[in-house]
Chain A
Amino acid sequence: MSRLRHPTEDPVWAKVVILTLVGLFLVCVLILPLITVFFEATRKGLPAALEAIQNEDARAAIKLTLITAAITVPFNVVFGLCASWAIAKYEFPLKPFLITLIDLPFSVSPVVAGLIYVLVFGAQGWFGPWLLDHDIKIIFAVPGIVLATIFVTFPFVARELIPLMQEQGVDEEEAAVSMGASGLRTFWSVTAPNVRWGLLYGVLLCNARAMGEFGAVSVVSGHIRGLTNTMPLHVEILYNEYDFVGAFAVAALLCLLAIVTLVLKALLELVQPQSRPGRH
């Protein structure tokens, strides 16, 4: 007699095939390359790899990446909170347009994003001559890199918060206000705690992307070693110069950052259900 199956349960052979396919893809596309990165980085031994991420240019690149993330993430937190608050709690014309606009960086190639800033702030751009007159450098300098990174990363926090705030509606805020709470108090006591996990999650994703962004930053950076090179750009330069150990060592560092982010994200997902026990 055949085993009784749930109507939507697949037969065993189908499960095996599907799981094998998924497993194969994961190994080929994700795990093998990741192993290669660490393997290549330590091909000439760990000291060589450590040396590669400690030389002056590498350190400058790491520092610039950290600075960029440190500016980008807070900016996007503020923007994300404002945008999602406006979208979830207010009714205004052009709201669907704003939501679509927030998604723009996801659909536009990062290279185009970089070019936009070159066209606006570059020497031949709209504000180029004015900026030149006032001795302000944006393109091929840190401000350009930060701008491009913000452009590429600004959907992350907002995208996390919008559905969360929309689902929660305004009932709790109205309850707080009806009990005499001020607007600021309502935000800190009611709104912020309700979205804190989504916010943290958005911050993590935003941070990961800010550190790893290549395309947009590559266009506006100018690749000046020790000055306008972020870690991903530094990897490319080293690789093009056949310094494979150096390239893979810095790449390994980026991978480590990514792995830390993923672990934090997984931890968040573990903690979340206990602190926010479902809807009510």
Chain B
Amino acid sequence: MTISIRSVEKTFGRYPALNGVSLEIADGELLALLGPSGSGKTTLLRVIAGLEFPEKGQILYGDQDMTYTSAAARRVGFVFQQYALFRHMTVAKNVAFGLDVRKGQAKPSKSEITARVDELLKLVELGELGKRYPAQLSGGQRQRVALARALAVNPSVLLLDEPFGALDATVRKSLRKELRRIHDATGVTTIFVTHDQEEALELADRVAILNKGAIEQVGAPHEVHDNPVGAFVCGFVGESNRFEGAVKGGRFQSADIALPAPGVTDGAAVAFVRPHELVVAPADQSNLNIVTERIAPQGAVVRVDGATASGQRIEAAFARQNAGDLQPGAKLSLAADRSYVFSA
């Protein structure tokens, strides 16, 4: 099911949560809504689900206007941040709930429901746990139950609010792969909210980046990372060193660094250089001189923390084999392979 969001506006009291958001989600797509807290991403998800209603704009499922249709009538699968499992029901009962509450003709027979529950529990690899209660499960298992429960109604769209937020790092990583697998197996249009860019970039087909209730950029993970459209996206997605300075005649200049800035209008500007795009350079070709403070080998890379003469913190990351024999306290000449400059 394609989902179209058209100029949606929503305020809480006097605080605008969504400021004219428009977004198209293709059928079968896995889309991430990425943004810092307070960016409106959860509100957008809840508006899509029908748990909140916008003041202006439209929500379309396919070509059907759903803007003011109740959540109950939209047939969405919603996975809550804290899972919101029914604590007094077994796992199987939880998963069956969406089918159990149907009335008359629409309600499947008992055996159909049991079969569907078994199938879903198998899909999320919880086949044996149907008789347990939520409190007897680990965080990762609860998450899987929540997912199975949301999928039980054959939702037209699956919505997940910070699905991995409450889990520890290892479980989070494996569940991420799991969600991708389940998405590919069911083909259901899926939208998830996250503040974790790594999660968004790894999992999603496309990422929509929100800031202050508006969408800054929508694109494939590598697009938003490699070609950010503005300072916010550049600073938010991926790691970066940020420099404040000014552009004059196509050159960016700050206290510490000079960078090319073709096509950027003259005036105050910010520049970003990603740590892994800094390279060690001979003194005559370098444009950034730092004194190293901490050298931390991490797997295949060596991370270097340092500071410039003006006190600006710099982070760099070199491939292990290119790092040579770095020592804390040493002077290091660096050059930026690539940089991003935006008018401030």
The 10 closest A-B pairs by CB, nearest first: A179-B98, A171-B84, A277-B135, A175-B84, A181-B101, A178-B78, A193-B88, A280-B134, A178-B71, A280-B135
Whether B80 and A175, one on each chain, are in contact in the complex, defined by CB atoms closer than 8 angstroms, is yes
User: Closest CB-CB distance, A198 to chain B, in whole Å?
Assistant: 13
Chain B residues with Cβ under 8 A from A176's Cβ? 86, 97, 101
Whether B97 and A179, one on each chain, are in contact in the complex, defined by CB atoms closer than 8 angstroms, is yes
Chain B residues with Cβ under 8 A from A96's Cβ? none
The proximity string for A residues 164-196 relative to B, scoring 1 for CB distances below 8 Å and 0 otherwise, is: 000000011011111111100100011001100
Whether A276 and B76, one on each chain, are in contact in the complex, defined by CB atoms closer than 8 angstroms, is no
Chain B residues with Cβ under 8 A from A179's Cβ? 72, 97-98, 101, 149-150, 152-153
Whether B71 and A277, one on each chain, are in contact in the complex, defined by CB atoms closer than 8 angstroms, is no
Whether A171 and B80, one on each chain, are in contact in the complex, defined by CB atoms closer than 8 angstroms, is yes
User: Closest CB-CB distance, B89 to chain A, in whole Å?
Assistant: 8
Whether A174 and B84, one on each chain, are in contact in the complex, defined by CB atoms closer than 8 angstroms, is yes
Whether A181 and B72, one on each chain, are in contact in the complex, defined by CB atoms closer than 8 angstroms, is yes
Q: Does B49 lie at the interface of the complex (its beta carbon under 8 Å from any beta carbon of A)?
A: yes
Expressed in whole angstroms, the Cα–Cα distance for A178 and B52 within the complex equals 12
Whether B135 and A278, one on each chain, are in contact in the complex, defined by CB atoms closer than 8 angstroms, is yes
Interface residues of B in 59-93 (CB under 8 A from A): 70-78, 80, 82-88
Q: Does B133 lie at the interface of the complex (its beta carbon under 8 Å from any beta carbon of A)?
A: yes
Q: Interface residue tally of chain A, by bracket? A: 20 to 34
**Given A179-B149, A180-B102, are A280 and B142 also a contact pair (CB < 8 Å)?**
yes
Expressed in whole angstroms, the Cα–Cα distance for A193 and B102 within the complex equals 20
Chain B residues with Cβ under 8 A from A182's Cβ? 72, 101
Interface residues of A in 221-275 (CB under 8 A from B): 275
Chain A residues with Cβ under 8 A from B327's Cβ? none
- Given contact pairs A171-B84, A179-B97, A189-B101, enumerate 11 new A-B contacts (beta carbons under 8 Å): A172-B86, A174-B78, A175-B80, A176-B97, A181-B72, A182-B72, A193-B86, A276-B87, A279-B135, A280-B83, A280-B85
B49, B72, B73, B142 pick with most chain A CB within 10 angstroms: B72
Whether A178 and B72, one on each chain, are in contact in the complex, defined by CB atoms closer than 8 angstroms, is yes
A175, A178, A278, A280 pick with most chain B CB within 10 angstroms: A178
Whether A171 and B82, one on each chain, are in contact in the complex, defined by CB atoms closer than 8 angstroms, is yes
Whether B84 and A180, one on each chain, are in contact in the complex, defined by CB atoms closer than 8 angstroms, is no
Whether B136 and A172, one on each chain, are in contact in the complex, defined by CB atoms closer than 8 angstroms, is no
Beta-carbon nearest neighbor of B100 in chain A: A189
Expressed in whole angstroms, the Cα–Cα distance for A279 and B83 within the complex equals 12
Q: Does B51 lie at the interface of the complex (its beta carbon under 8 Å from any beta carbon of A)?
A: yes
Whether B101 and A174, one on each chain, are in contact in the complex, defined by CB atoms closer than 8 angstroms, is no
Expressed in whole angstroms, the Cα–Cα distance for A172 and B84 within the complex equals 5
Expressed in whole angstroms, the Cα–Cα distance for A176 and B204 within the complex equals 27
Expressed in whole angstroms, the Cα–Cα distance for A257 and B72 within the complex equals 47
Beta-carbon nearest neighbor of B74 in chain A: A178
**Given A280-B134, A280-B135, are A178 and B49 also a contact pair (CB < 8 Å)?**
yes
User: Closest CB-CB distance, B64 to chain A, in whole Å?
Assistant: 17
B50, B88, B98 pick with most chain A CB within 10 angstroms: B88
Beta-carbon nearest neighbor of B83 in chain A: A280
B80, B84, B136 pick with most chain A CB within 10 angstroms: B84
Whether B80 and A194, one on each chain, are in contact in the complex, defined by CB atoms closer than 8 angstroms, is no
Expressed in whole angstroms, the Cα–Cα distance for A194 and B98 within the complex equals 18
Expressed in whole angstroms, the Cα–Cα distance for A180 and B49 within the complex equals 12
Whether A180 and B153, one on each chain, are in contact in the complex, defined by CB atoms closer than 8 angstroms, is yes
